[in-house]
Amino acid sequence: MTARNIDGNALAAKVREEIAQRAAELTARGVQPCLAVILVGEDPASAVYVRNKVSACEKAGFRSLKFTYAPDVDPQEVFDRIAELNADDTVHGILVQLPLPKQFDADKVLEAISPEKDVDGFHAENFGLLLQGRKSFYPCTPWGVMKMLDSENVELKGAEAVVIGRSNIVGKPMAVMLLSRGATVTVCHSQTKDLAFHTKRADIVVAAVGRAKFLKGDMIKPGAVVIDVGINRGEDGKLCGDVDFDSAREVASLITPVPGGVGPMTITMLLANTVESAQRVLDAK
């Protein structure tokens, strides 16, 4: 079997069109969606992601604000900026690009963002709501994965799903989202004794560990759906995922490539959360 790719770029383009339409309607009613992005430090990948977020906002008809800080900035300056943006009624979404430099306590920074403007879905309040199956802002990457699975009509009810990775921003929320849709979910991580035992039983595998090409074809059940959240540099210097694409595609039925898979959906769902936040402001008027 050779797997079919789930094309993240194509799905992202379709969803972004719908978001742009919604943004135009909100703007016509006096609420133009606005995202504020905070970038601290000089990490080149973060700078690219932030640039892409600002450009995605422009294309969708959003207003965007960008604040950049030197790597050695006093964290208080960033907290002051967040407080100012929390109080600004014209701003609907605030995000702080991760990772942050060492002098920052990332949890404290994320908790400083008002939950009503936490369009990354990283605030503990939003995560708690997600756990309880209540309305919140969902973290963008796992939500993008759910959109990809739905776009292919992948049956989630009763499916055996294995999530590899237990980070707060991908692994844990991914497991909760799959669970809430009726999958039987196993979360594997660095202490898991026999990873292949779990992955070989899975109808759906989501790899989010940050280790280049580590999930091989012989660890996958024939016909499984394989979702690759990793973004790594391979030994050849090229961008690659956590999945060894060449061997995995010979076994899986559906697979996401890297690049062009989950990545483009992350920024798309950020736009979706921001437009939703603006909608809530309009509805409350």
Ligand X SMILES: Nc1nc2c(c(=O)[nH]1)N[C@@H](CN(C=O)c1ccc(C(=O)N[C@@H](CCC(=O)O)C(=O)O)cc1)CN2
Render 142-205 in DSSP notation, one character per residue: HHHHHHHHHHTT---TT-EEEEE---TTTHHHHHHHHHHTT-EEEEE-TT-S-HHHHHTT-SEE
Instruction: Cite the beta strand spans of the chain per DSSP E.
Output: 4-5, 34-40, 63-69, 93-96, 160-164, 184-188, 204-207, 225-228, 232-233, 239-240, 254-255
Q: 28: burial class by Cβ within 10 Å (0-12, 13-18, 19+)?
A: exposed
Q: Which stretch binds ligand X (CB under 6 A): 60-68, 70-78, 89-97, 123-131?
A: 89-97
Which residue in the set 54, 195, 196, 239 belongs to the binding site for ligand X (CB under 6 A)? 239
The yes-or-no answer on residue 150 being catalytic is no
Which residue in the set 140, 220, 240, 248 belongs to the binding site for ligand X (CB under 6 A)? 140
Q: Which stretch binds ligand X (CB under 6 A): 25-33, 91-99, 147-155, 199-207?
A: 91-99
Q: Which stretch binds ligand X (CB under 6 A): 69-77, 94-102, 172-180, 218-226?
A: 94-102
- Residue 78: its H or E element: helix 75-86
Does the protein bind ligand X through residue 263 (CB under 6 A)?
yes
Q: Is 231 annotated as a binding residue?
A: yes
Does the protein bind ligand X through residue 267 (CB under 6 A)?
yes
Does the protein bind ligand X through residue 258 (CB under 6 A)?
yes
Alpha-carbon distance 270 to 19, whole Å? 11
Q: Are 160 and 183 in contact (CB under 8 A)?
A: yes
Does the protein bind ligand X through residue 266 (CB under 6 A)?
yes
- Please list every residue from 165 through 204 that binds ligand X, using CB under 6 A: none
Residues with a catalytic annotation lie at 53, 97, 120
Known binding positions for NADP(+): 165-167, 231
Q: Which residues are annotated as a binding site?
A: 165-167, 231
Using CB under 6 A as the criterion, which residues of the chain lie in contact with ligand X when the complex forms?
Answer: 49, 95-98, 120, 140-141, 231, 239, 258-260, 263-264, 266-267
